Amino acid sequence: MGPQDYDYSPWLYAAEADDDARARQLAYQRDLGGEIGAGCFVSEHASVRNDELRLGDRSYVAAGAYLTGRLRTGRDCSINPYTVVRGNVTLGNAVRIGAHTSILAFNHTMDDPDVEVFRQPLTSKGITVGDDVWIGSHVVILDGVQVGDRSVLAAGAIVTKDVPAGAVVGGNPARVLRWRVPALRPPEPGDDLATAVATFAGRAREQAADVLARCWDADRGLFTDKPEDPPTVRAQCDAIEIADLLLGRAPDQLPAAEQADRLRGWQDPRTGLVPEFGRTPESVLFDEHGGYHVLSVGYALDLLGSEFPEPVRAVAEATAAIVVDGLERQPWRTHAWHAGAWVDALGTALHWNARKGIAGPQETLVGWLLMRADSRTGMWGEPAPADGLLQLVNGFYRASRGTFAQWGLPVPYPERVVDTVLRHARDARFFRPERQNACNVLDVAHPLWLTRASGYRAAEVTALATTLLRDALTHWTDGAGFGFQAPRSTTRGDRATVPGLQGTEMWLALIHLLADLAGVAPSLGYRPRGVHRPEPAA
């Protein structure tokens, strides 16, 4: 086979190229620059003029292709002969593009009728294509389009609008023809949400014992988050929360009193913290693991009718000055989630201490948050170029959960919170059904539930909650529960998509919040009473 055969049939290169052809190809890739993964092929007869080029492993570019701008692909992507890819384009894993297709992530403006179009400025929104997408030949995708995971674009389609995950689209302009993944089909008018919720809840209750048994390590007498994982402190707490939600009792693996005694015994008497197995406890003001265990162990004990035997001493001795200094040290501008998590742990420690009659600087904590809330967003911190409003919204959830929500206090700017959350929920990077994870959806559901009394943009809040709720119901795996990340066909090996106790506990809780916002919570038949409880704990 001659070298030119690989240019037009590049899928043959991996299996049939000889040593000379491979050496020539690697030298050419080095001359191109960029980041080109293992097993890639780029035809020397393609016009590759990218400002940025990143090709994932086993991807190829055939002869006649014309590439400009910024192109980033995942693994196993194909750009076949005479395909045009221009502008800021991102392809996921396993995106296969037929010949003579044009992906055009820029456009001419034509605002001034007295100036020739080619002299007017260009605009660019970018094009994003998800995982496991088949794009047929002679397809045209215009700037600003986002193509969902597991979709198919039929030959000749002119794609001017976003393509839903799992859809097969075709025509000019492209429209949905059918569903490659029926489970991702949006609900039709008349679909009964309350019935869907009740059906899910019944199935979850029937399978709850199996979900827990799957993660029980009988040899160690401890729960693991996922089978084959090592036991963790949080896994014991998640099991208790799941059993309380779905069964109305403690997990059957051990008597409730024994489970409570074990959790109590893990508290370090010196600091009042619960370290991870094999770790040394540190101050809650600085230790992330110990900080979250203040939440998870404290509320698990509460569900079991018990409490920490000792106060959280790391916080009992904190003065107002120490709290303010800790707040000022947090990375609000760059990592608002981490800052919010710190506040959550601190606020919850103050809550448990108050139950023991130990006063703390709660007023200092709340006062600082009230004074520092941004009147434009209602939150603390700033958006980031890399992930938009994600850190800001997720940090707000954690900070408000451990303070305003836990103590039954109104947040300072509820309407701005709603505005910010609704704007964030339009970010397809995080809220397409196949891109969702428990943290990101929970961190939208809880702020909207917390501010629901304002009545602000209520119809939009209900519509969003309904959409996210329907999505969430599809993420359950029979006999195993929820993975932290929504299951996707191309990420079955990703640990985050494997069902486990953490994902199950979080999705069950956020499903209740969404169902309440959508007006169908009674159909669930459960209400969280632990870490993610909707009502104040104080």
77-100: per-residue pLDDT in tens? 999 999 999 999 999 999 999 999
Residue 329, by phi and psi: left (phi above 0), alpha (psi -120 to 50) or beta? alpha
Rounded mean pLDDT, 191-217: 95
Residue 1, pLDDT above cutoff 50: no
Rounded mean pLDDT, 480-496: 80
Helix-then-strand count for the chain, H and E: 18, 21
Task: Name the CATH code of domain 3-184 (choices 3.90.650.10, 1.10.287.3510, 2.30.110.10, 2.160.10.10).
Answer: 2.160.10.10
Catalytic option among 45, 108, 475, 512: 108
pLDDT band at residue 285, thresholds of 50, 70 and 90?
A: low
**193-523 has the same fold as 3-184:** no
Is residue 53 classed as helix, strand or coil in its secondary structure? strand
Percent of the chain with pLDDT over 70: 95
Residue 240, pLDDT above cutoff 70: yes
- Contact between 439 and 393 (Cβ < 8 Å): no
Question: What is the rounded distance in angstroms from the CA atom of residue 336 to the CA atom of residue 333?
Answer: 6
Residue 32, pLDDT above cutoff 70: yes
CATH 3.40.50 describes domain 193-523: no
Rounded mean pLDDT, 316-339: 93
Each residue of 333-349: b (16+ CB within 10 Å) or e?
eebbbbbbbbbbbbbbb
pLDDT tens sequence across 393-405: 999 999 999 999 9
- pLDDT at 518 (0 to 100): 95
Q: For the chain, which residues make up each domain, given as ranges?
A: 3-184, 193-523
- pLDDT at 288 (0 to 100): 55
Residue 463, pLDDT above cutoff 60: yes
pLDDT tens sequence across 168-203: 999 999 999 999 988 777 766 656 999 999 999 999
* Range name among 28-37, 289-298, 461-470 with the lowest pLDDT average: 289-298
pLDDT tens sequence across 362-394: 999 999 999 999 999 999 999 888 899 999 999
Sequential DSSP letters for 110-161 = ---TTS-GGGSPEE---EEE-SSEEE-TT-EEETT-EE-TT-EE-TT-EE-S
- Contact between 312 and 371 (Cβ < 8 Å): no
- Contact between 290 and 226 (Cβ < 8 Å): no
Cβ-count burial of 105 within 10 angstroms (0-12 exposed, 13-18 middle, 19+ buried)? Answer: buried
Closest CA to 415 of 444, 458, 367, 464: 458
Residue 536, pLDDT above cutoff 50: yes
Rounded mean pLDDT, 295-323: 94
Report whether the peptide linkage leading into residue 447 is cis, meaning its omega lies within 30 degrees of zero: no
- pLDDT at 4 (0 to 100): 62
Rounded mean pLDDT, 311-316: 90
What letter does residue 223 receive in the DSSP assignment? E
pLDDT band at residue 491, thresholds of 50, 70 and 90?
A: low
- 108 flagged as catalytic: yes
Across the chain, mean pLDDT equals 92
